[in-house]
Amino acid sequence: MMTSLTQWIIPEWNFAQTIGMVAFFIGATAFLHSDGRRFRLHLMLFQMVLCSHFVMMGALVAAFGCGISAIRSYASTKTQSTSVMLFFIIMLWVMGFPQLENHYELLTLLGSSVATYALFKIQGISMRLLVMFNSFCWFINNFLLGSVGGALMELTFIILNSVTILRMFSSRLLGKV
């Protein structure tokens, strides 16, 4: 866990941080897709790269969460099955809970569980609000861990998701949805 704000602002820059920044740029472009299937597939690529970042940082709970989420994002393009959704939620907790080292890491499990539900069962603005809740959970985790790329990515998700939600809401008010 990070010991001071200075360490987060000016972290030790290494290969793990570089991979985190690559993940940031991959993830930032995911929200450019208006098509839900392409968004989920692009999100899968982001999650795979971010998983490797977390492994290099020694954050196994976050790594398990990202790895399972990458597979989940792909699966949600193929099925909306409740049993498949529950399988991913159970896997998140079975793989992640025993690895917990810090209390804030629970947020990654909670947020990922909510996002899994959203990707499999919810559409539109409601799905994006639940995905945003997940982003807030991961932002807090990444900030406390000292993951610059991860924290920037989640802030980007929150901002882009907010803009998309506002656009969708405006379109709904105007009768275009």
* pLDDT tens digits for range 44-90: 999 999 899 989 988 887 888 788 889 999 999 999 999 999 999 99
Name the pTM for this structure.
Answer: 0.79
CB 124 within 8 A of CB 144: no
Smallest CA-to-CA distance from 106 within 114, 98, 97, 115 is with: 97
CB 76 within 8 A of CB 41: no
What is the structure's pLDDT at 35? 67
What is the structure's pLDDT at 7? 54
Distance CA 21, CA 148 (A): 8
Smallest CA-to-CA distance from 168 within 31, 15, 21 is with: 31
Distance CA 38, CA 51 (A): 20
What is the structure's pLDDT at 91? 92
What is the structure's pLDDT at 152? 84
Which residues of the chain are modeled with pLDDT < 50?
1, 6, 177
